Structure 1
Amino acid sequence: MPSVDTISAGLVSGIEGSSLTVKIVVAVALSIALYNAIELVLLIFCTFHRYHGLYFWSLLISNVCGVIPTTIGAVLHFFLIGPLWLALTISHVGFYAMVPVQSLVLYSRLHLVFHDEKRLRYILYLIIIDALLFLPATTTTMYGSAYVQNLQWNKAYQVVERLQVTGFCIQEFLISCLYIREAVKLLRLNPEKGSRQKNIMYQLVAINLIIILMDIGILVWEYLGFYYLQVSLKSLVYSIKLKLEFAVLGKLVTITRLHTQEAIHSDPAIAPVFVKPDYSKSTCPTGHNE
């Protein structure tokens, strides 16, 4: 593990002194992250019927106010375009929206498989407390390390950076693991479910496992000390996780339709009110949004 006595590579000087391979990897990762974010914005507004609710707003904010500014700020920062303060500010404002709000995306659909209201409130409190605990400390030590550039500030930033990455990853682990546990429990309690519903539940479990594995990847890069790669890959990973969440939405809509069909034996089934009726057909409606 790299020493906290050394400044994170790329924090001040960008990636000018890095190899061509590193520059290509960073550029490709940031380009894909930006593409994913722009594509997801279009998909969101083509899919949602009503623009309200925690799921909609957390998904939109984490993408538009999170991934996009974080990626743009990283481009300015690592390729030394413009002043350092501007790049750090844009990327850090994006970080505020991208990382904690991603946990709200996970939380916002947890109630579909987990119905303990008291524990759901505790999870929400955990998300809020973690944000209040880690975000101000990260901001303060980041600017101190970048501009004061003495040993004490740098040690503080290194420690806080690792703590916040670990804390947010553990938070997402807990939410995803709880979702997987409850989904598996539902499968065991309802063995008579149709094969289509079982397949969808298995796919939801798989998506949450992929999210956990990507969080582990971010942790590995953080503790290896590759600052610029960790930041670039974080933007890419969070853009992919948000697209996976969009896939989760499609699965949840399908399950809702199947349950509705079983309950009322009518056609068409009624999807959740915030999603356009023909979403499960994988089309982008052209009708007027409410």
Structure 2
Amino acid sequence: MAGETGPIISTISLPIAMILAGFFAISAYNGLEIYVYIFRTFRRHRGLYFWSTVCANTGILIQSTSSLLRFFAVAPTGPMSAVIDIGWWMMVTGQSLVLYSRLHLVIGDQRKLRWLLYTIIGVFVLVQVPVGALFIVNNYYGGPDVETPVTAAFVGIEKTQLVILALQEAILSGLYVYEWSSMRKQMEITKGRKVRTLFHELVWLFVVVFALDVSLIIIQFANLFQIQTTYKPVVYSIKLKLEFFVLNNLVYLVSSRGSSQHDIELPIDSMPLDTAADDPWRSRRTPSLGVTGEQYATSAE
């Protein structure tokens, strides 16, 4: 199983090699474009939203580049497997934290937010780290023509990992739809049609994230390791661009004035794109629209 244990340059056809190179080009372009979006949007480089976005996008470029170098035997297999793991962890966990970092705008209950954060950390420690360790061991001690017990274990647990990560991201993106749907009718009174438009964007965010994750799972269960490894950064770069667009629209809508004298407006020091005050890592009283959309819900961690 050359893909799981080392280079594949001598075992794949030219069309497959071109597909892999094409996936690398797409993910690299998207990653560079996202960097431009990030540094044009954030005036102050601080807060969980900023750093999780940078982490996820950096992971996309690391994962795609190191996979290409490893597959085509440009760099040694063992060290590249460790670099691939680092890129994968940054890309996946970073993207989950991007989704998490804006949830406090629609969820006022700090206990819910805390459990979501614990879930993300738990999945990283209990699922992603063991899979990464197996991948490194497999690349140092496995062989392209022999399926060792480590290889079999890695193939099985990696499929489980993708399913768990897909469920995690579906829950995080689905919470935006659920929470916003419960407040949008009252929000429309003060903020107009933009509330309905944002709701549709959140729905599409959930649908696209779920569909892309399902496509990854299908490729994984089809045992197309070399395809799914280079396809992953493409999927995550598309999701990150979409999340960045939709979540920024959420920030601007929540922070903007509407058409009513009773409109809701967050204090200027809680503007997420510009200050460190909006940081879910730190204990604080969190401005939130809660579940009613009529007033702030504040609670201390």
Q: TM-score, normalised by structure 2?
A: 0.81
Deviations 1:120-160 (CA, angstroms, capped at 9, x unpaired): 11111000111000123112211222232252111111122
| Counterpart for residue 36 of structure 1 | 30
Deviations 1:159-200 (CA, angstroms, capped at 9, x unpaired): 221121111111111111122111222224545351232112
| Counterpart for residue 6 of structure 2 | 12
- Asked if residue 179 in structure 1 is aligned to residue 176 in structure 2, the reply is yes
| Counterpart for residue 145 of structure 1 | 138
Correspondence 1:135-284 to 2 at 5 A: 135-149=128-142, 150-190=147-187, 192=189, 194-259=192-257, 262=260, 273-275=271-273
Which SS does the other structure have where 1:228 is aligned? Answer: helix
Match for 2:31: what amino acid? A
Equivalent-residue separation in structure 1 for 2:159 and 2:47 (angstroms) = 32
Which SS does the other structure have where 2:234 is aligned? Answer: helix
Which SS does the other structure have where 2:217 is aligned? Answer: helix
**Count, aligned residues:** 267
Residues 52, 260 of structure 1: alpha-carbon distance in 2 compared, 3 angstrom cutoff: farther
Match for 1:179: what amino acid? Y
Q: Where do 5+ consecutive residues of structure 2 fail to align? A: 275-301
Match of 2:64 among 41, 60, 71: 71
Please state how far the C-alpha of 1:257 moved relative to its aligned partner.
4.5
Please state how far the C-alpha of 1:9 moved relative to its aligned partner.
3.6
Match of 2:95 among 90, 95, 102: 102
Q: Structure 1 stretch 51-60 or stretch 85-94: which is displaced more?
A: 85-94
Equivalent-residue separation in structure 1 for 2:7 and 2:44 (angstroms) = 45
| Counterpart for residue 91 of structure 1 | 84
Match for 1:146: what amino acid? N
Residues 171, 8 of structure 1: alpha-carbon distance in 2 compared, 3 angstrom cutoff: farther
Equivalent-residue separation in structure 2 for 1:259 and 1:184 (angstroms) = 20
Match of 2:48 among 41, 49, 54: 54
Equivalent-residue separation in structure 2 for 1:36 and 1:208 (angstroms) = 20
8 Å Cα contact 1:40/1:243 also seen in 2: yes
Report sequence identity in percent.
Answer: 30
Deviations 1:67-126 (CA, angstroms, capped at 9, x unpaired): 111011011011111211232122111111111121111111111122221111111100
Equivalent-residue separation in structure 2 for 1:108 and 1:52 (angstroms) = 12
Please state how far the C-alpha of 1:29 moved relative to its aligned partner.
0.9
Match of 1:21 among 5, 10, 15: 15
Equivalent-residue separation in structure 2 for 1:170 and 1:249 (angstroms) = 20
Q: RMSD over aligned Cα, in angstroms?
A: 2.4
Please state how far the C-alpha of 1:211 moved relative to its aligned partner.
1.2
Which SS does the other structure have where 1:82 is aligned? Answer: coil
Equivalent-residue separation in structure 2 for 1:262 and 1:40 (angstroms) = 35
Q: Structure 1 stretch 29-38 or stretch 256-265: which is displaced more?
A: 256-265
Equivalent-residue separation in structure 1 for 2:184 and 2:7 (angstroms) = 52
Moved over 4 A (4+): 188-191, 260-265, 269-272
| Counterpart for residue 283 of structure 1 | none
| Counterpart for residue 293 of structure 2 | none
8 Å Cα contact 2:4/2:138 also seen in 1: no
Q: TM-score, normalised by structure 1?
A: 0.84
8 Å Cα contact 2:56/2:94 also seen in 1: yes
Deviations 1:37-70 (CA, angstroms, capped at 9, x unpaired): 1111122111102111111110111112x11110
Residues 219, 145 of structure 1: alpha-carbon distance in 2 compared, 3 angstrom cutoff: same
Equivalent-residue separation in structure 2 for 1:43 and 1:262 (angstroms) = 32
Q: Where do 5+ consecutive residues of structure 1 fail to align? A: 1-6, 277-290
Residues 20, 239 of structure 1: alpha-carbon distance in 2 compared, 3 angstrom cutoff: same
Q: Structure 1 stretch 133-142 or stretch 184-193: which is displaced more?
A: 184-193
